[in-house]
């Protein structure tokens, strides 16, 4: 038995502000996933949002049918 992660994983160390830790823990609790899986999903969603054109975004519908759109806003990288 080894404590090493599988070869297809990359181990990262991150520094999170308290509100980000709280959000991560909330996501993990709500989804039933661990922190690693919750963070992985969040990064994937963020990458999809960044792939949108400025002003476009991702629309999410909650259990009650309420729709929320997260719109892509200009970032410093857009000015390059």
Q: What is the mean pLDDT of the chain?
A: 88
Nearest to 45 by CA among 22, 12, 72: 72
Residue 5's pLDDT band, with cuts at 50, 70 and 90, is: low
Number of helices and strands in the chain (H, E): 2, 2
Q: What pLDDT is stored for residue 42 in this prediction?
A: 94
Q: What pLDDT is stored for residue 7 in this prediction?
A: 78
Q: How far apart are CA 57 and CA 59, in angstroms?
A: 7
| pLDDT digit string, tens, across residues 6-36 | 778 888 999 999 999 999 999 999 999 999 9
Q: How far apart are CA 34 and CA 31, in angstroms?
A: 8
Helix (H) or strand (E) holding 25: helix 18-31
Residue 1's pLDDT band, with cuts at 50, 70 and 90, is: low
């Amino acid at each position: 038995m080894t404590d090493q992660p599988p070869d297809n994983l990359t181990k990262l160390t991150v520094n999170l502000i308290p509100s980000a830790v709280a959000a991560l823990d909330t996501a993990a609790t709500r989804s039933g996933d661990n922190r690693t899986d919750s963070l992985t999903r969040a990064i994937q969603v963020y990458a999809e949002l960044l792939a949108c054109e400025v002003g476009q975004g991702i629309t999410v519908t909650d259990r009650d049918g309420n729709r929320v759109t997260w719109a892509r806003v200009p970032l410093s990288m857009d000015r390059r």
